[in-house]
Every structure is written in structure tokens, then in C-alpha cells.
Amino acid sequence: MTALVFYFQVHQPFRLRRYTFFDIGVHDGYFDDTENARIVRRVADKCYVPMTEVLLAQIEKHAGKFKCAFSVSGTALEQMELWAPDALANFKRLADTGCVEFLCETSHHSLSFLVDRTEFEDQVRAQQKRVKELLGVEPTTFRNTELVVDNRVARWVEELGFKAILGEGADQLLGWRSPHRVYRPEGCERIKLLLRSYKLSDDIAFRFSNRAWSEWPLSADRFAEWVHALPPEEQFVGLFMDFETFGEHQWKETGIFAFMEHLPDAILKDPRFTFATPAEIAERFDPIARLDIPDPVSWADAERDLTAWLGNHMQRAAHEALYSLAPAVRKAAAAGHPELLEKWKKLTTSDHVYYQCTKWFSDGDVHKYFSPYASPHDAFIAFMNVLDDLTRRVAEANAALAPLEPSSTELPTTEAPSAKTPSASPAP
């Protein structure tokens, strides 16, 4: 038997206001809640509500034979609680079917795993708690931000008790190996690695509405033919994509909803094929080999690395300045200012450095689509202004506790790079 594993990522960042130099020291209204509310309601209307209804109908129609999985970031959960409760209610309905697995990730969709293990583990535990509270399930599978995985992250996640981790089936990682088998990351003893089949996933997520594509228009029957043609020894097909693919990135008018309504029937016509969740695959199969992942591999852009977030000087400067503040902001929070820590955590969301990306080549249109800023330089300036103000407030809070203790929370002095700084190198 070969199983299709549909995994959908749901994420919304807390976008920043156009916070200028003249706002520093004046107010701490960093986040544009009017715009955040507008966007999450729009996406709920176009994607979250109608597409979860499609999935619920397929689960009912096929008496549990259709299954899928989600990871919903903590920032998306919070925004749906505030502004789109009908969408959150539908995710709870999916959880209640027993046919949908909900995964764990970092609560704030952060890159904390790169530099701050304490923050990484804090966010993972916070996300576990929120998923349990809101959806009533205990996650056993982990997906890191933007599907980034390496040996170290896999080992940390294994130590936290997870049984499986998702990753990108990148060519530079696999070589001649198939992405349709279960692996074990080097240095791990228990956790299992399930990889994304990027060609088949991207046929739905990116190419579906492309009229220049030789396979346009793609039908459910045609896609099922490609899947059915896979060798019988293949264990599963990881179809991992943003949930916003349905209705937001690919509009309803493209036929994407109808495609998903017909796909389960088309797949199940061949009795060799089933649907499964990541946890079921991890339980069913032993790893066929170890994979050595010394460097982080992501699902972003042609490079499948970290250059979408840390590929230029602006991004690296912002990332380093943000995490240099971590010890001081934790100290302030412990002394009675938890609101400062929560603002800092919202700044750790990877979208903020993603908006500063200067890759305007093969993946440039994707970056421009997701960014609310006129340019990467504008994104950098707004972020650094916010961080400057937050740093001052953290320093003031700590100084009030120990007036004689020298402060070490000032940001390093850096010259603002040009928007044309060359690059060293998917939420709406």
C-alpha cells in the first residue's frame, strides 16, 4: 500500500505598523491590528472556512478513508481567536473527526532554533499547550518553521518526545534516493523523518493555475494517474503545502476547490492507494536509511536553504540584533513585564526578515507577493525602529529593578544598508 499524506501549513504573522524614527520613544503600538484583522478575515472567508468544509465533506463521504494533517502556528491561532472564530471552530471540527492530525511547531513561527535553544523549546512547549487547549489533541509530529530541518533540530525535537519530523525532499539532501520513504536523521535514535515530494506538491501549490504550464488545466484524474504510476515499493507521497493555496493563492475561480473535491475519489480508484497522516506513516514504517543533514534544508525558493530569511546584510543584522535582546527581555519579563517578552516573541516571527529579502530572480515574484512593504529596505527600517524602541523599554524596566547595574541591552550601531544591497543568495 502507498499512502498520500496531505499536510497543510496555516500561518499568519502579526504585521508591523509603518513605525518610523519619530515613533521611537513615543508609543509602543508596533503591530497593525486593523490590517491583521482585515487579512485574517479575508483569508478565512476565501480559504479557511470553505476549504475546511471541503475536507470535512470528504472525510464524511469516504467514511474516514480520507485523512490529512495541519500545523497551525500560534500566531494564526491567536488571530483566529480574535478575529475569525468561525475558522477556528472548523479546525476544531476537523480535529474531532479523528481523521486529521495536528502537528506542533514553534508558537511564533520563529527561527529561534538557529541561535537560542531555550527560546526554541519554550515556543515548542507553548505551542503544544495551545494545540491541546484549542483543538483537544496532543501533537506527536513536529514541523519546524518553513520545514527547516537539520541533524541538530531533529535531535532536539527527538529529545522533546516527538516521534516524527517533516522535511523537504530536496535534491541536495536526497541525491538518488526517493522522497517517498521514511528516513532517520543522523545522530537520532527514535525519531522518523518524512519528506515532501516537492514536484507533486508544487503541481498543486504553484503550477495549478499557470496557463503557460504544459499540464494546464490539471484535473484530479490526471494528477491521480501520476500518483498511480509510482513504483509499488514507494511507502507514501508527502503532499505538503500552505493551506492558503486553496482560495487565497489559487483563487476559487481556478477550479482548485473542485479539484480537491474530486481528488480522493480519483486516488482511491486504485486499491493500492490510501490516505494517511504523518503519525500513521511513522508508526507503520521503519526507516530505510539514515540521512545526514549537516546544514539546514528548507522548502523555500530554488535553493531550499535559509537565504530567503538570512541571505543579505539587512536580514542578518536584524536577526542578530533581535536575539541579542533575549536575555534582557527575559529578565524584564521575570520581574513583572511579560508584555515586553510577548512583543519580542512576535518579532521573532520569520516573516519579518523574509520581507527584507532582496532575491529578485527566480523567486522574486513570490517574495513580492507576500510582502506588505514597498521594498526590502522599508521592511528593514520599520523592523529596526520597532526593535530600537523595544530595547529602550526593556532597558528602562531593568534599570528600575537594579539602578546601579550596568545595562547591556543597547543595540549595536549599524549603518542602514541600501535597498540595493546585493543578496548573498511562503503568509499573505
Report the catalytic residues.
146
Spatial distance between the Cα atoms of 326 and 341, rounded to a whole number of angstroms: 9
Residue 100 sits at φ, ψ, to 5 deg, of -125, 125
Burial class (CB in 10 A: 0-12, 13-18, 19+), 281: buried
Handedness of CA 151, 153, 154, 156 (dihedral sign): positive
C-beta neighbour count of 400 within 10 angstroms = 12
Question: What residue has cell string 509603518?
Answer: 18
Q: What is the DSSP string of 294-331?
A: -S-B-SSTTTTSSHHHHSSHHHHHHHHHHHHTHHHHHH
Spatial distance between the Cα atoms of 217 and 208, rounded to a whole number of angstroms: 7
Spatial distance between the Cα atoms of 25 and 48, rounded to a whole number of angstroms: 38
CB 170 within 8 Å of CB 304: yes
Q: 86-123 burial by CB neighbour count: b if 16+ within 10 A, else e?
A: ebbebbebbbeeebbbbbbbbbbbbbbbbebeebbbbb
In angstroms, the Cα distances linking 420 to 21, 96, 284, 313, 317 are 21, 50, 50, 11, 16
